[in-house]
Amino acid sequence: NHRAFIFDLDGVIVDTAKFHFLAWRKLANDLGFDFTQEQNEQLKGVSRVESLNKILTWGNMKLTEEEFNRQMALKNENYLSYVDKMEEDEILPGVPKVLNFLKEKNIPIALGSASKNARTILKKINLYNTFDAIVDGTDVSKAKPDPEVFLIAAERLHAKPENCVVFEDSLAGVEAANIGKMISIGIGEKQVLHEADFVFPDFTKIEIDFIEKLLRK
């Protein structure tokens, strides 16, 4: 069996967290409260429904099911207005180098994201046809740290989970990769992503040499 690589989207390939924050914050403000960028960190890798649940707890608010769904739709509409302006230059530094290397070597790569907007974003940044498989929030029923999203990606790449390498910026995602018996590479802070097999602050710090070693392992 061969190595395969799985990339999270938000926080790994692009920084959409800033747009999620703006859109969620507007929702909170419209409901009469506010939350901080630090609190926003807790929403990384978390599904849309779970994000709204957390935010409502912070604001000490409860919504009827109908209002909950309406607010989620409004947030997404607002979020997509930012996504709509995205272009290729939003791809985070260092990412193209790794993607190009893996493509040249014909190594299977997949996207494994919790976002229901993943395909829209990939089209905006011209990476829609780059991945051999795209697994997103519309394909899964269980949110990270459940490994479902990555296990489906492995299956679609015809790779054994233990041969998969996962790039993730959220702790929930790192846990999902670990539970799935995959090699986890955290992108971000070591303190936050302490459970990852390897941690890099960002893709500019990942040498091709390191990727080559993973291929030989």
Which residues are tagged catalytic?
A: 8, 10
Question: Residue 2: phi, psi to the nearest 5?
Answer: -115, 160
Residues in contact with 87: Cβ distance below 8 Å, sequence separation at least 6, in sequence order:
124, 125
Is residue 114 involved in binding ligand B16 (CB under 6 A)? yes
Q: State the minimum distance, in angstroms, from the CB of residue 20 to ligand B16.
A: 5
**Lookup: tokens for 88:** 């290729």
Q: What span, in angstroms and rounded, lies between the C-alpha atoms of 154 and 95?
A: 21
Residues in contact with 70: Cβ distance below 8 Å, sequence separation at least 6, in sequence order:
none
Is residue 11 involved in binding ligand B16 (CB under 6 A)? yes
Asked if residue 214 belongs to a known ligand binding site, the reply is no
Among the listed ranges 3-11, 94-102, 181-189, 197-205, the one in contact with ligand B16 (CB under 6 A) is 3-11
- Residue pair 184/197 in contact (Cβ under 8 Å)? The answer is yes
Q: Which is nearer to Mg ion, 59 or 76 (CB)?
A: 76
- Out of 8, 124, 166, 186, point to the residue binding ligand B16 (CB under 6 A): 8
The count of C-alpha atoms lying within 13 angstroms of the C-alpha of 121, restricted to the half-sphere facing its C-beta, is 29
Within the chain, what is the greatest distance between any pair of CA atoms? 55
Q: What span, in angstroms and rounded, lies between the C-alpha atoms of 213 and 211?
A: 5
161 preceded by a cis bond (ω within 30 of 0): no
Q: State the minimum distance, in angstroms, from the CB of residue 121 to ligand B16.
A: 8
- Out of 45, 145, 161, 180, point to the residue binding Mg ion (CB under 5 A): 45
Helix and strand numbers (H, E) in the chain are: 9, 6
**Lookup: tokens for 198:** 């390897």
Is residue 145 involved in binding ligand B16 (CB under 6 A)? no
Contact flags string 137-176 toward Mg ion, x per CB under 5 A: --------------------------------xx------
Is residue 193 involved in binding ligand B16 (CB under 6 A)? no
Among the listed ranges 40-48, 95-103, 136-144, 180-188, the one in contact with Mg ion (CB under 5 A) is 40-48
The rounded Cα 92 to chain-centroid distance in angstroms is 13
Is residue 115 involved in binding ligand B16 (CB under 6 A)? yes
Residue 114: contacted member of ligand B16, Mg ion, none (CB under 5 to 8 Å, by partner type): ligand B16
> Where along the sequence are the contacts to ligand B16 (CB under 6 A)?
8-11, 20, 43-48, 51, 76, 113-117, 137, 170
* Residues engaged in binding Mg ion (CB under 5 A): 8, 10-11, 45, 169-170
Binding site, annotated residues for Mg(2+): 8, 10, 168-169
